[in-house]
Amino acid sequence: MVKSTRHAKYELYYHIVFVPKYRRSHLTGETKERLEAIFAEICENKDLELAESEVMPDHVHLFIGSPPKNAPSLIVNWVKGISARKYNQRYDDRVKWTRSYYVGTAGSASEGAVERYIAEQEGGDA
């Protein structure tokens, strides 16, 4: 769904994947539920759209929509840093993330659709 700010229309979504330190398979049960709630809380506080989240035993997948003012690396830093801090303050067991991550972009327009749109603009009034 296309959203807007005062100066831009956008539809930016990022697929983010990261893993716990030492790739321990401990993100299950209550830990999984707690992390999903914390990710939702972070996104709400940072004005991000958490379209989808999946906490696997040894890694996390998030699909997050964001305004264009937020760099993908900033979003990842928010999600990983704030989630670890909140989790470790609230619960006795600990969660630590590795420094590495994957982020990929996703949107509603295919490469062909963008190319057609740009080609159509060339013939329009400038």
Determine whether 87 is an active site residue. Answer: no
Among the listed residues 62, 50, 64, 54, the one whose alpha carbon sits nearest the alpha carbon of residue 17: 62
Question: Is the sign of the CA dihedral 84, 88, 90, 91 positive or negative?
Answer: positive
* CA 96 remoteness from chain centre: 18
Contacts of 96 (CB under 8 A, 6+ apart): 20, 21, 84
H helices present in 1-126, as ranges: 29-45, 72-90, 111-122
The partner residues of 97 in beta bridges, in order of sequence, read 20
Residues annotated as catalytic are 117
